[in-house]
Structures are given as C-alpha cells and as structure tokens.
Structure 1
Amino acid sequence: MTENTDIHRLLDEAFRGVDMTADAQDLKEEVRANLIARAAELEEAGRTPAEAARQAVAELGDVRELLDESTDAAPTARSEGYAALQQRYRVKPKAGYVVRVVAYSLAAVVGITLAILGATGVLPLPVGAMIGMLGFASTALGLVVGDSLAQETTTNHPMPDNRAGGYALATFLAVYGLGFGMLVLSGAMPVWGIVFAALGVIASIILFAFLLSSQTNRHKAWTREAFAHEPPNRFEREPEVAARFGIYTVSIWIVTFAVIAVLVFTVGWWWAPVAFAGGFAVMMLVLARMLFGPDKRS
C-alpha cells in the first residue's frame, strides 16, 4: 500500500500557528508516523485515502493540547499512575455493543450446553443436531470476538472490520474443531471425526499466527507514552523471532494432532488428551525459550 500523502498536508494545517520549537518538531514527527499507521488501518477497513487521512487527523485532536501534554507526560504518568490515566481517558462501551455481546453469549451458552447434553446422552439428540449446536455456539463466540475487537477502547483504536472478521473466523474454527474433538471423545461420533477436529484447530492456529504476526500498533498516544519507559519484550525487539515462533507453533500443533489421530486409531482415544497436553507443554517451553533465552544480538 502506498503512503497516504494527504496526511502530510493535513498535519501541516494542524500545526499551523504553533511555535515550532524542538519539542514541537519532535512531536510533529512522532504524530506523523502514528497518523500514517492509523490511516493505513482505516484504508484496510474500506475508507478512501482522503477519508482515512481526515479521520486519522480528526482523532488526533488539538495539537496544542498534545504539545502541552508531551512536555509533562512522564511526570504525569509517574504522579497519577496508570490506573488514573486509564480513568481519565476512559471510553464507555456503546449500548448496542453491550446488547449484542449479551445476546451472542447467551446463544453460545445454549449451543454448548445442548451439544454437551447430547454428547453425554442426557438428551437424545442425533449427531447432526449436535454438530449444528456446535456451529451455532462457535458462530456466536466468533461474533463476540470480532465485535469486541472492532470497538474503540480506552487504550486501543478500533480494529479494521476485515481484520476483526479474521479473528472471528479463527475463533469459530478453534471452537468448532474442539467441539468435534469432544464429540469423538464422548463416543457420539466415529473416530474419523478427529480429522475434522484437527483441521479446524490447525486452521485456527495458522490464522491466529498470521493475524498476530501482521498486527499493527493500535495503542492510543497516551498508552504509548505511559509505557514509553518500559523495556520491550524480545518479540518486539526482534520481529523475526516472533515469526519463527509462529512457524514453530504451527509445526508443533500439526505434529500433535497427527499423533492424536494415530493414537485414536491404534491404542484408543483416551491417549488423545495426553498427546494434547504434551503438545501444549512443548509450545510453552518453546515460548519461554524464545522470550527469555540468550539474545544473540547482545
């Protein structure tokens, strides 16, 4: 995507009349980088370059207030503390969003409950009905995740709709895959159903890894300033390490579900949880090693 040139013109207009001291110039360049990133997110969400630039600059507010805040932001952060800053910039949830999340959550609870009752034999539900209930619950949970990420919060700008939809799809695949696994383990579905469980979970892991590795910074300016003096973790310092961890995670879970399938078809399904726990333990060890292992750059 090409850089949005409207940002530079609108930013110059926003700083018109401001005494361009060294602090003001530093702030302008920092704001410029943030506005370019924000405009790119808005363009991904479907805005035209001109609309994205105008909205990004409008979200910026009065640059004079930003300049005043930037001169004493660090003392303010130290004196007020993060909780006080969070309260000052608090964004209230929208009523429509709250209603939707409650409705989606109730639908998920109903779907999961009916699927579990059917799988355990409490309700005489056919396999097709149980799969339908899992799909109902998975869709509801995916909508909760996607809708939540698309909202503005106290610390984050809203996520573009297409990216929030990606997280919703990844959640749907994960829950649906785990649901298929539950039906197989309970005996309500033949053992070949583990194939659908593995495909769903592996696809969700791949999608989650892609979304997380390609995520741009959504933090608002006050949040970035509050954490300006916090040391970055290794994934932030070395993006290539984060990318390798994503590849290792996908590989670990592909192998894990392959082992689960072999165990289910040979010695019995009761070994599947052991293989799953082993795969999870390996992933946690790899995560710890990559986050806290020796830094070759140093």
Structure 2
Amino acid sequence: MNTDIHRLLDEAFAGIEMTPAAQDLKEEIRANVAAQVDDLVAAGVSPAEAAQRAIAELGDVRSLLDDEPAAPLGWEALSARNRVRPKPGFVVRTVLLSVLAAGALIGILLALLLLHPAGPALVAGLGAVAAVSLGVVTADALLQETTTNHPLPARRAVGFGLATGGTLLALALGGAFALALDQLWLVILAAVLLVASIALFSYLGATQTNRHKAWIHGAMTPMPPNRFETDPEAAARFGIYTAVIWFVTLAAIVVLVFTAGWWWAPVAFVAGLAAMMLLLARMLYAPRSGDRR
C-alpha cells in the first residue's frame, strides 16, 4: 500500500484519542482512501499526489467521531470546499484556440457571402483550422482536473479530441463539396471521417469509466447503473457491433456515390445511424437472460 496514505492518515488523526470506535473508523477510512488512490493512479496521478488528494477530501475527521452527526452539507457548500480553479495556462490556450476557431468560422461565412463562387479549397481549409482548434480544446479540457471530476487518461482525452475534430472536419468537407459537386473525393473523405469519428465516439462512450470524485458520490442521488457498467461483455459487444455497422455504412456510401449518385449517400448514413441507435436501445434496455423466466 502507498506509504503516504499511512503517514497522512496518522497526521489526520493526530490529537484524537484512539478509542475502539476511532480505530475502526481509521481502518475503514484507510481502505476507502486506498481504493480512491488506486483510481487516481490509474488515471495518471502520481501516488504521492493521489494520497494527498484523497486525504484532503476527507476534511476534518473529528466531525466523523461526533456523537451527533453533523448536518449534511449542501451541494454549494461541498462544491466550495472541493473547488478546483482552472489552471491559467489552460485558460489561455482555450481562449486563443477558441478565437482562432471563431475567426475561421467567420472567414467561411465571409467567403460564402462575398466570393462568388466561394472556393471549396478555402472553405475546407478554414474548416480544418476550426476543427483542429476545437478538437485540441476538447482534449485539453478533458485532461484537466475539475471540481467534480478527475482528469481523463491522456489516450482517452486525445481520442475524444480526434473524434470531435474529425466530425467537424467532415462537416467542413461536406460544405466544400456542396460548392464543387464534381469533386467526389471531398464527400468520400467526409464520409470516412464522419463514420470513423462516430465509431470512435461510440467506443469511448461504451468503455467510459467513472471520473467523479469521492465527494460527488455522497452528494448526488444514487442512480441505478446502466447495463454497460454492470456487464462489461455487453459493452464490448456493443463496440464491436457498432464498428461493423459503420464499416458497412461506409462501404454502402462509397458504392452509392459511384453507382447511384452522391445524393444517395445520406440515405446510407441515416440507415447506419438508425441501426446503431436500435442496437443501443436493444443492448441497454433488453432484459438479461438471467432475468427472463
């Protein structure tokens, strides 16, 4: 076990008479803190910092030993006690990238209004700038610790950033294709990016783990777990089925573009999206085999 836990816990109980009740409480807290530290370390936090965070969230342990339990704090009080301020560097990066993305979107609007015809390369280029900027903002935001959540692991944060940027870039390429209908490669690339981004979003969503801090669990009304949290095999199957659906959808889009015409491509996309939503509803809410009589 992390030795910092023992040291910090001894400091937290300093000056408290170690009655049997206090000793039992200390051991119970030790086990809970150890589990929380393991979660933080798995999320990329150093063991020493993880131990300090977990102990800090306990507050004053004397209140836990009072004969009359203290009235539970409200959400605002708990939020204020555990508040985490955004890092200045993150704020600066977010503002600059957001301004860059907004400038790119304004540039697209001006190009559509003032240039006749607007160049598809210009629209696609400005759209790429906006997509990359907002994708980076998304990943950077998920890497930050907040008042309620621990930072997301770097790989998953980058995955969400890529999925966000890919979706936005697909929209930009689709807009560029609308300005140059003879450039079929634009709509094909847009379809590939969109399908890949949706598949990535689906995978990340199906494999998402709990990021909430310990104090959130006591402050929030308990919610029943969804099936993917209690049945990892169902989550894995959903990810595989989703990938298959979107690969088939992508193949159908390519075939339709080169045979029936590009205007049939949205039909394949809508069919793929409908299939994925039906699959999600089926796997989340269908009765388990053990529940059937």
Following superposition, the deviation at residue 181 of structure 1 comes to: 2.9
Q: Which digits, 9 at most, give the CA deviation of each residue in 1:72-107, with x for residues without a partner? A: 9xx989x65556644553434344433432332232
Aligned counterpart, 2:195 = 202
Aligned pairs (5 A) from 1:65-84 = 65=59, 67=61, 82=75
Q: Which digits, 9 at most, give the CA deviation of each residue in 1:197-234, with x for residues without a partner? A: 23322333444344445544321111123347321111
Following superposition, the deviation at residue 136 of structure 1 comes to: 0.8
Whether 1:245 aligns to 2:238 is: yes
Relative distance call for 1:180 and 1:272 in structure 2 (3 A) is same
Relative distance call for 1:84 and 1:240 in structure 2 (3 A) is farther
Number of residues of Structure 1 aligned to a counterpart in Structure 2: 281
Following superposition, the deviation at residue 171 of structure 1 comes to: 2.0
Q: Which runs of 5+ in 2 are unaligned?
A: none
Following superposition, the deviation at residue 117 of structure 1 comes to: 6.0
Question: Secondary structure of the residue that 2:43 maps to in structure 1?
Answer: helix
Query: For 1:12, which of 1, 6, 10 is the aligned residue?
Result: 6
Aligned counterpart, 1:151 = 144
Following superposition, the deviation at residue 145 of structure 1 comes to: 0.2
Relative distance call for 1:162 and 1:187 in structure 2 (3 A) is same
Following superposition, the deviation at residue 126 of structure 1 comes to: 3.8
Q: Which runs of 5+ in 1 are unaligned?
A: 1-6, 44-51
Aligned counterpart, 1:278 = 271
Q: Write the letter of the residue equivalent to 1:248.
A: Y
Question: Secondary structure of the residue that 1:16 maps to in structure 2?
Answer: helix
Following superposition, the deviation at residue 264 of structure 1 comes to: 2.2
Contact 1:108 1:140 in 2 (8 A): yes
Q: Over alpha carbons, which structure has the higher Rg?
A: 2
Aligned counterpart, 1:104 = 97
Counterparts of 1:141 and 1:94, CA distance in 2: 18
Aligned counterpart, 1:26 = 28
Contact 1:15 1:63 in 2 (8 A): no
Q: Could you tell me the TM-score, scaled by structure 1's length? A: 0.78
Following superposition, the deviation at residue 38 of structure 1 comes to: 0.8
Following superposition, the deviation at residue 156 of structure 1 comes to: 0.3
Q: Write the letter of the residue equivalent to 1:16.
A: D
Query: For 2:82, which of 70, 82, 89 is the aligned residue?
Result: 89
Q: Which digits, 9 at most, give the CA deviation of each residue in 1:158-210, with x for residues without a partner? A: 22444423322232222223322333344356113333223322333444344
Following superposition, the deviation at residue 142 of structure 1 comes to: 0.6
Whether 1:129 aligns to 2:131 is: no
Q: Write the letter of the residue equivalent to 1:219.
A: H
Q: Write the letter of the residue equivalent to 1:194.
A: V
Contact 1:109 1:137 in 2 (8 A): yes
Relative distance call for 1:251 and 1:67 in structure 2 (3 A) is farther
Question: Secondary structure of the residue that 2:152 maps to in structure 1?
Answer: coil
Query: For 2:44, which of 26, 42, 45 is the aligned residue?
Result: 42
Counterparts of 1:33 and 1:282, CA distance in 2: 39
Aligned counterpart, 1:47 = none
Aligned pairs (5 A) from 1:167-178 = 167-178=160-171
Counterparts of 1:260 and 1:295, CA distance in 2: 35
Q: Write the letter of the residue equivalent to 1:106.
A: V
Question: Secondary structure of the residue that 1:261 maps to in structure 2?
Answer: helix
Which piece of structure 1 moves more, 118-127 or 107-116?
Answer: 118-127
Contact 1:117 1:123 in 2 (8 A): no
Relative distance call for 1:293 and 1:248 in structure 2 (3 A) is same
Relative distance call for 1:53 and 1:228 in structure 2 (3 A) is farther
Q: Which digits, 9 at most, give the CA deviation of each residue in 1:29-69, with x for residues without a partner? A: 122111012112226xxxxxxxx111101212347637567
Which piece of structure 1 moves more, 146-155 or 109-118?
Answer: 109-118
Aligned counterpart, 2:259 = 266
Query: For 1:58, which of 52, 58, 72 is the aligned residue?
Result: 52
Counterparts of 1:62 and 1:178, CA distance in 2: 45
Question: Secondary structure of the residue that 1:133 maps to in structure 2?
Answer: helix
Contact 1:235 1:242 in 2 (8 A): yes
Identity fraction in percent: 40
Counterparts of 2:82 and 2:121, CA distance in 1: 48
